[in-house]
């Protein structure tokens, strides 16, 4: 593998996603090329042939077409060999009738896991935690989720926040608690007295000058 960033870096929201080259179940992958022009949900799982991971990745596979409608690609990773990945994919297909068509990185040397802070010694020194990185088409990390080894992720929440990130980019508004597509947005608070006075004359749904809602 080739890397452009130091291995001890843990990316943060707002950082550009570290680039890397890796071996995957769909062949060699250069992240910057894979990310070009689309969102990427990059997620890690602790190990192949484990029950919680199987429930998670089968659901990712079942939702892949819905992610594509949101201009989003999936990319998985675990600290397993490519042979383990392929055998697991085959096992899931035979037993659950679900095919994982998105690429799974074989990070047997742990380099990508360390690059993205997916290997957290307080949880495990040999298995990646359940991390989820939301990376926009410019390559910027927009949201990060971390789950421990024994708690599976919430797919509805992953899809909800992806919709929210994309909607706020388009409308330049904010999303309130529990926002879902179709719900009202929050208008950013005024920055000047003039803005505040104009807001009071607007058609926004006003709670007070700093809290206003609107539909689009």
Residues serving a catalytic function are 53
SS (H, E, C) the chain: CCECCCCCCCCCCCCECCCEEEEECCEEEEHHHHHCCCEEEEEECCCCCCHHHHHHHHHHHHHHHHHHHCCEEEEEEECCCHHHHHHHHHHHHHHHCCCCCCCEEECCCCHHHHHCCCCCCCCCCCCCCEEEEEECCCCEEEEEEEECCCCCCCHHHHHHHHHHHHHHHHHCCECCCCCCCCCCEEECCCCCHHHHHHHHCCCCEEEECCEEEECC
């Amino acid at each position: 593998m080739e890397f452009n960033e130091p291995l001890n870096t843990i990316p943060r929201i707002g950082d550009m996603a570290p680039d890397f080259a890796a071996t995957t179940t769909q062949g060699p992958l250069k992240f910057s090329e894979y990310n070009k022009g689309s969102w990427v949900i990059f997620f890690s799982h602790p190990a192949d042939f484990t029950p919680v991971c199987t429930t998670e990745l089968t659901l990712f596979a079942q939702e892949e077409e819905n992610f594509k409608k949101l201009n989003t690609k999936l990319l998985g990773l675990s600290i397993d060999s490519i042979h383990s990945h392929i055998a697991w994919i085959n096992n899931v297909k035979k037993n659950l009738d679900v095919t994982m068509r998105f690429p799974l990185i074989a990070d047997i040397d742990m380099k990508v896991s360390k690059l993205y802070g997916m290997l957290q010694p307080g949880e495990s020194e040999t298995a990646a935690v359940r991390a989820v990185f939301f990376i926009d088409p410019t390559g910027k990390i927009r949201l990060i989720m971390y789950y421990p080894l024994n708690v599976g992720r919430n797919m509805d929440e992953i899809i909800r926040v992806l919709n929210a990130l994309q909607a706020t980019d388009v409308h330049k508004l904010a999303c309130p608690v529990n926002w879902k597509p179709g719900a009202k947005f929050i208008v950013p608070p005024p920055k000047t007295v003039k803005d505040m006075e104009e807001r009071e004359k607007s058609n926004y749904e006003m709670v007070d000058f700093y809290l206003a809602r609107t539909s689009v």
